Amino acid sequence: MSERSERGPSGPAAGLGAGGVSERSERGPSGPAAGLGAGGVSERSERGPSGSGNAQVDRLLDLLALERLGPDTFRHVNRSRRGPGGRLFGGQVASQALRAAIETVGAELHVHSLHSYFLRPGRVGVPMDLGVDRIRDGRSFATRRVVAVQEDEAIFELSASFHVDEPGFDVQQVLPPEAPDPEGLPPNPHEHAHHRPFDIREFGPLPGATRSLWTRAAGTLPDDPAVHACVLTYLSDMGPVGAARRAGPPGIPTMRASLDHVLWFHRPVRADEWLLYNLEAVSLSGARGLARGLVHGRDGRLVLTVGQEALIRPVA
């Protein structure tokens, strides 16, 4: 998104599809997203003693319950989840754009990659329309392009590719480093509103990383792979800008803004189970920084690769 300050920080069970959750039926032409009940939330058990995590997850799921205006057009009025500076959190907009794309493909298709650009800052309380272009519908793959618009101005663009489940090799070259158990780490304070739906335990960082943390949704999510993919998209945007900034000299004020966001979904996973997120600064040059993130499940399987370039402009 446009100029804003830095955003804060198991193998699949039998019968589970991509995303580590059960297969869902074909999406209908209208109504809330699959797995979401009235108001876009489902009945779920509380995690944690306070109950606040469950309420926050309900609100997060409500963000994914888009109003369908037509076969390929959706709307949401974002009234919460402000990022720094009072703007919409970029991960929220990305997750909603992915949700719109998912609603136009068959249930047998699962997102495997997305490439997106933050064009302008999103504004709280202003209706956001999401238009989906059906770029390709093949036998094994489908491609969708989504543009998010507020008051006739594009604020975000996303291209997502979907793939049917099929057998193949299962090899990964990057193994997770040794990390402390998340249960033994204190929860991070909720610095920003968009952190609240998640249990975040930051530590380290681990060798080779700029930032390391365990994270999961703070409550149990519906058994819908689309929901888990969208929640992963949301949480993946927490930290890359700050990780890229840490490559530069400390103590110098900077103006920071995400420019793009790229995800590759490798293996099934649930976003309400512990995920190890390691971020590293790759480059900082010409007022732009690049960060890469790897997300592993607790069983060591690589489930998500993240890439983000950001504007990091020194200010006098």
Closest CA to 275 of 256, 250, 303: 303
Task: Check: CB of residue 245 under 8 Å from CB of residue 312.
Answer: yes
- Active-site annotation holds for 56: no
Q: What's the rounded Cα separation, in Å, for the pair 199 and 217?
A: 6
Q: Are 7 and 194 in contact (CB under 8 A)?
A: yes
Q: Which of 161, 212, 258, 272 is catalytic?
A: 258
Taking the CA atoms of the chain, what radius of gyration do you get in angstroms? Answer: 18
Say if CB 257 and CB 3 are below 8 A apart.
yes
80 is catalytic: no
Q: Report the DSSP beta bridge partners of residue 130.
A: 74, 148
**Among residues 129, 199, 237, 272, which one is catalytic?**
237
The region that residue 101 occupies, defined by phi over 0 for left and psi between -120 and 50 for alpha, beta otherwise, is alpha
Beta bridge partners of 276: 214, 296
Catalytic, 96? Answer no
The residue with tokens 């800008």 is 241
Q: Catalytic residues, which ones?
A: 237, 258, 308
